[in-house]
Amino acid sequence: MARHLLHLTSCRILIHLTTNEFDWGVLTRSPPFPIAMFASIVALSCLAPQHANLRDWKLLDDNSRRAFQYFVDRSDPVTGITQDRSRNFVDDTPEHFVGSIAAIGFALSAYAVGDHRGWMTHDEAVKRSRNVVKYMLEKAPKSHGWYYHWLNVKTGKIEWNSEVSTIDSAILFCGMILAEQGLKDKELSAMVNKILRGIDWKYMQTNGGEKPEKRLVSMGYRGGKFLDSDWSEYSENAMIYLLALGLDASQKDDLWESFERKRYRAYGKTVLSGGPLFMHQMSQIFYDFKGKRDRLGIDYWANSRLMTLLQKQYATENPKRFAGYGKNIWGFSACDVPDGYGAQGFPGGYLGDNFDNGTLAAPAALASMMFTPQESMAAANAFYAEHSDAYGRYGFSSGINPSKHWRSDDMIGIDQGQMMLGIENARDGWPNKTFMSSPISQLGMKRAGFRETKEGPVENRPVLLKP
């Protein structure tokens, strides 16, 4: 594929071709390293061949580091806004210069992780974080404390007739909390606190006062009109309600019980919500649910682990007989598909029960490292061995469809962020521990009724306790 076509001598500046040692520090050093040369080397580096000796934690380290580099490379130096997606093998086109507020949240997370792992200096991490948070505080368009989903990377103007998005704002807010707790910078913390205290929760719950008794948070609004849907079912929405309980004293504690927990059956097991894997990863890369139950007796960490294992079993049995599936090749989630973008899922799914079109999301399988380390590491090894053509400058591409001999050309920022934090949580739990050190995070979970329970190994805990 493209990354094997050119073997340029200049690439040796960054990559030691015989040992696979990458001098990532070159990418983040300040001048006098010439900017033009910097840009050229970055472009050349993406064409460097990969090596078959990447396995296990070495491979996961490489994925996490490449995900971190996505946010370094794809965040504008002036606005700090991060691209929603980027090409994985060739240069970006103008359509790629649209940013996402969720990607900004993951960029802030990446800077904190980069500081923790030694991939970026503390001063650089603080500088980048201050810059984008200051922009979001003072210049980015917002309404009642909530942000527009899509922004021009260069100008910060609203793109694509964007909605004001509550879930993408929540991801941004969580990234801010992780960054300010991890970097411990007073100026950054003050700006983050001002943003978080400016969120008008009741506005999004009551649809601007039109439905004064409604407690569920709206998915957002566009053009002054609220969207038809609320966050009414358990999914990635958990972070929204935990943030509300941690930030807004006027909310009642039972807000956490206000949304539905749908149940699905698969292979003799009961799981909450089902659907794409990202729904079961997004909140837990920040909030630590491991070893805890809420007032309903639900262990959401055990649920996410079970969801991952059910997907692995589904791919192993492969009832639709798609090419390439197997016990180590699995992962059904939102990703690029051959004809656009889709949200594959099992059991259940956004587009119908057990929606499966032959497309696999390798980043989602790796993001589940925090739930299924052995199975997800085996998946990383298998994807790398069997689909090395889908491994580019930022790791595994968004989607792979073996039946159609297709892989996406792009990386998506939120996929990169989830994968990076999932891997880092599996390594040492630092993202969870750091995020949970915030009084806001602690209060949200306390008010939702979460408590630690001693039930033996966490891997053996049931999702639901019988009443």
Q: In this structure, are residues 334 and 278 in contact, taking their beta carbons and an 8 Å threshold?
A: yes
Same domain, 2 and 76: no
Beta bridge partners of 100: 150
pLDDT score, position 353: 58
Same domain, 56 and 6: no
pLDDT score, position 95: 80
Find how far residue 3's CA is from the centre of its chain. Answer: 25
pLDDT score, position 167: 98
Q: Is 117 exposed, middle or buried (0-12, 13-18, 19+ CB in 10 A)?
A: middle
Same domain, 231 and 281: yes
Is residue 357 included in any domain, yes or no?
A: yes
Residue pLDDT, tens place only, 185-216:
999 999 999 999 999 999 999 999 999 999 99
Instruction: Report the percentage of the chain scoring pLDDT > 90.
Output: 84
Place of tokens 């100026």: 187
Handedness of CA 410, 385, 118, 109 (dihedral sign): positive
Place of tokens 């030694």: 118
CA atoms of 22 and 10, how far apart (whole Å): 14
Is residue 131 included in any domain, yes or no?
A: yes
Compute the half-sphere exposure of residue 326: CA atoms within 13 Å on the CB side of its CA.
13
Same domain, 2 and 95: no
Rg (alpha carbons) of the chain, rounded to whole number: 21
Kindly list the distances between the CA atom of residue 48 and the CA atoms of 42, 56, 394, in Å, as whole numbers in the listed order.
Answer: 10, 21, 12
CA atoms of 252 and 461, how far apart (whole Å): 29
**Which 3 state secondary structure label does DSSP give 369?**
helix
pLDDT score, position 149: 98
User: 204-213: long-range contacts (C-beta < 8 A, 24 or more apart)?
Assistant: 204/144, 204/146, 204/166
Residues 333-362, buried b or exposed e (16+ Cβ, 10 A)? Answer: bbbbbbeeebbbbbbbbeeeebbbbbbbbb
Handedness of CA 338, 341, 346, 347 (dihedral sign): negative
CA atoms of 31 and 25, how far apart (whole Å): 13
Same domain, 62 and 112: yes
Extract the runs of DSSP E, i.e. beta strands, from 285-353: 292-293, 334-337, 340-343
Backbone angles phi, psi at 21, to 5 degrees: -90, 125
Same domain, 297 and 391: yes
Same domain, 44 and 55: no
pTM over 0.95: no
Same domain, 96 and 40: no
**Which 3 state secondary structure label does DSSP give 267?**
coil
Is residue 118 included in any domain, yes or no?
A: yes
Is residue 467 included in any domain, yes or no?
A: no
Is residue 466 included in any domain, yes or no?
A: no
Rounded to 5°, angle at Cα 181 from 175 and 182: 85
Same domain, 89 and 224: yes
Beta bridge partners of 421: none
CA atoms of 467 and 465, how far apart (whole Å): 6
H/E stretch holding 152: strand 150-152
Is residue 101 included in any domain, yes or no?
A: yes
Same domain, 252 and 399: yes
Name the average pLDDT for the chain: 89
Is residue 122 included in any domain, yes or no?
A: yes
Could you tell me the two tokens for 47?
């064409």
CA atoms of 407 and 401, how far apart (whole Å): 6
Same domain, 279 and 361: yes
Domain total for the chain? 2
pLDDT score, position 352: 55
Last residue of a domain, one of 49, 69, 89: 49
Is residue 271 included in any domain, yes or no?
A: yes
Same domain, 29 and 135: no
What's the mean pLDDT in 340-365?
85
pLDDT score, position 22: 35
Of the chain, the end-to-end C-alpha distance in Å amounts to 55
240: how many CB neighbours lie within 10 A of its CB?
25
Residue pLDDT, tens place only, 67-102:
999 999 999 999 999 999 999 999 988 888 999 999
Last residue of a domain, one of 18, 33, 49: 49
Residue pLDDT, tens place only, 274-327:
899 999 999 999 999 999 999 999 999 999 999 999 999 999 999 999 999 999
CATH code of the domain covering residue 64: 1.50.10.140
Last residue of a domain, one of 32, 49, 66: 49
Residue numbers of the domain that contains 161: 50-460
